[in-house]
Amino acid sequence: MRRFYQGSDLARIHSIAELAELARRRLPAFAWEYLAGGAEDELTLTRNRQAFAALGLQARTLVPCHPPSTRCALLGQSLPLPMAIGPTGYNGLLYRDADIHLAQAATARGLPYCLSTVSNAALEEIVSQVPGVDLWFQLYAMRDLGIQNDLLERAGRAGCSTLLLTSDAMVLGNREWDRRNYVRPRQLSLANKLDVLCHPRWLRQVMWPRGLPRLGNLDPYLPESERSALGSMKFIGEQMDSLLDWDSLARLRDRWPGKLLLKGVLHADDAEQAIALGLDGIVISNHGGRQLDGAVSSLEALAALAPKVRGRLALLLDGGIRRGSDILKARALGADAVLLGRATLYGVAVAGSDGAGRALDLLAEELRRSLNLMGCPALDRLGPDCLHLKPLAEAFARPPTANPEALS
């Protein structure tokens, strides 16, 4: 009978799906739901995976299998792999000091790490505890410009090379399954409180001895009563600048001296506008299926806009990446690199920096193996001719299946 490994030997974990199952078993239900779930009917969450599954690979044969080159150029840097760990919030609910562990895993492999505005570790902590980190910072636009400007100054002092402005979360998505864990905002149901007690390892790892983690970047601006991970949610909701527009982005471009990316782009016209404002890149993203349910998959959006804008700014993609072959497909469609979210979060939830590192290593191994099996000696040899594009359109003529991660 087929079943995933359930022990602690990371060498026996052979896929991101296996890491996900271990994470599900180790986390309380409310924390797992926050990690794995999506908005409303989870159509976009599922569509992100369906798009990769529907896209066929056109392999060439009788090509010698030398170790393939996976180096890539991104934003003026040379990276060993076309990936970075993307910004995710409230990671301390998964593992103590999870942000630091993620940064350590990325840095050990020569990859960038992007810290979220709503991280549990502060910018200053990452820099002090992870020597040599290539630190990026993700910014949520704030109504209070004093707070926003102070965050930008802190990011500059911390040596952040790249800023990502998230544009698709000015209004929070309707994450119904997440909300069902609470009887009212920030108060877990009795069933969930009992479930937490059934996870003593998580209680020791996350809650002992200080309770819920705070939000390191926002801690200086929060009222004392709202500094925990759950307590801060009200503050975040009130501070999101729902009037963010292109003029706001232009002002940010003038203010930020480093690389600037816009995260949350799905339309080619928006990519053109980003080019006109002098941005260095975009992140093609539907926020992991957590915002607008029914939005196109990131991969579909990449296929539509890459032919129009590739080479004029950096193209990054996130959403649904679970295999090295997914990264290969994104590269073939025109992405320069991918940002990883849930894949490395599953790893950090299981075993901190070692678990996150295992996730990165699995994806790297699969990418190299897939390139060999494709008969492709290097990333820069990938293109649309390596793909069978027709199924991508046909796949969405059928209704999406249920999200297996949310149901597991």
Q: What residues are labeled active site?
A: 287
Q: Which of 283, 367, 358 is nearest to 324 (CA)?
A: 367
C-alpha angle 25-30-32 in degrees, rounded to nearest 5:
40
Q: How many CB atoms lie within 10 A of CB 384?
A: 14
Asked if 43 contacts 290 with a C-beta cutoff of 8 angstroms, the reply is no
- SS3 sequence of 39-94: CCCCHHHHHHHHHHHHCEECCCCCCCCCCCECCEEECCEEECCCEEECCCCCHHHC
Structure tokens given for 368: 């190299």
Asked if 344 contacts 105 with a C-beta cutoff of 8 angstroms, the reply is yes
Spatial distance between the Cα atoms of 324 and 326, rounded to a whole number of angstroms: 5
Spatial distance between the Cα atoms of 318 and 44, rounded to a whole number of angstroms: 13
Spatial distance between the Cα atoms of 327 and 81, rounded to a whole number of angstroms: 10
Spatial distance between the Cα atoms of 284 and 151, rounded to a whole number of angstroms: 24
Spatial distance between the Cα atoms of 139 and 379, rounded to a whole number of angstroms: 30
> Residue 387 pairs with which residues in a beta bridge?
57
